[in-house]
């Protein structure tokens, strides 16, 4: 990461009306998830008791870092917010790097950090994994898990996971662990393959199987896995020859 002076116009903290910033969020700020309800309540309590301890960052009048603080101050009916201006000549990559590195220092689960890191990757090269791993303080292996989960979950599910939602496992328990999610996906995949093998033996897929939620979920996973596979691989998997 570049030194602080490369981003900041100065270290001077100014004040601005909260009303002017409540909807002035830069798109780059949205690449990190908002706080959950409980954490946001804690932030509001802290601001009420101690005031704003850290200034938000503004780039050309838009909030780059500090969406939660601005929203919390607005809801608390505080009139002004402390801010620091960033240089006007920063590139989009400069802004993304600054926001992501600052976010790494805040409380996010390992899964959220891995998904955020994966989203900032420019290639799948080993060197890029090493660079992003160092920049975000998350292991390359964890980023690779995020990549795998991204392929197997729907965009909506993956986005929800990034925002802190829990993944519902086959056994009814919940988790945010990428490794546990991957293992659960494998279990769902096996359910589908076993049912498909049974259907091959009988020649039909029973309606009760088609309507089974685990089967539907697993079928989506199998389709994702088979998407770029050869016809022989698909045939072997469906017939149970690979197990």
Of the chain, the end-to-end C-alpha distance in Å amounts to 47
Q: Are 193 and 222 in contact (CB under 8 A)?
A: yes
Write down the pLDDT at residue 219: 59
Which residue(s) pair with 17 in the sheet?
80
What is the signed CA dihedral for 165, 211, 233, 143, rounded to 10 degrees? 0
DSSP of 80-102? EEEEEEBPTT--HHHHHHHHHHH
Question: Which residues of the chain fall short of a pLDDT of 70?
Answer: 1-4, 101, 103-107, 135, 137, 192-243
Question: What is the pLDDT at residue 211?
Answer: 53
Using the 8-state DSSP alphabet, how is residue 221 labeled?
H
pLDDT of residue 30: 83
**What is the separation of C-alpha 196 from the centre of its chain, rounded to a whole number of angstroms?**
33
* C-alpha to C-alpha distance for 108 and 113, rounded to whole angstroms: 6
Is pTM beyond 0.85? Reply is: no
Boundaries of every domain in the chain: 4-107, 109-161, 174-238
The Cα–Cα gap between 37 and 8 comes to 31
**The predicted structure's pLDDT at residue 42:** 79
Q: Answer whether CATH 3.90.1530.10 is correct for domain 4-107.
A: yes
What is residue 225's predicted lDDT score, i.e. its pLDDT?
A: 56
Residue with tokens 């959220």: 112
């Amino acid at each position: 990461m570049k030194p602080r002076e490369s981003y900041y116009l100065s270290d001077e903290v100014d004040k601005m009306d909260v009303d002017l910033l409540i909807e002035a969020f830069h798109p780059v700020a949205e690449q990190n998830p908002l706080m959950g309800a409980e954490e946001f309540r804690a932030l509001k309590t802290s601001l009420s008791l101690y005031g704003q301890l850290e200034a938000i960052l503004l780039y050309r009048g838009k909030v780059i870092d500090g969406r939660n603080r601005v929203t919390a101050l607005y809801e608390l009916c505080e009139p002004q917010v402390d801010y620091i201006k960033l240089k006007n000549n920063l590139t989009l990559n400069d802004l993304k790097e600054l926001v992501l590195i600052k976010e790494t220092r805040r409380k996010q689960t390992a899964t959220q950090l891995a998904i955020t890191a994966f989203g900032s990757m420019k290639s799948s090269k080993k060197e890029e994994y090493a660079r992003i791993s160092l920049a975000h303080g998350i292991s390359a292996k964890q980023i690779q898990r995020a990549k795998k989960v991204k392929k197997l979950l729907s965009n909506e599910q993956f986005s929800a996971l990034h925002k802190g939602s829990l993944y519902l496992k086959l056994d009814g328990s919940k988790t945010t662990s990428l490794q546990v999610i991957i293992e659960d996906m494998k279990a769902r995949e096996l359910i589908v393959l076993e049912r498909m093998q049974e259907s091959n033996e009988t020649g039909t897929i029973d309606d009760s199987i088609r309507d089974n939620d685990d089967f539907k979920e697993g079928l989506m996973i199998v389709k994702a896995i088979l998407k770029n596979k050869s016809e022989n691989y698909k045939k072997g998997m469906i017939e149970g020859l690979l197990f």
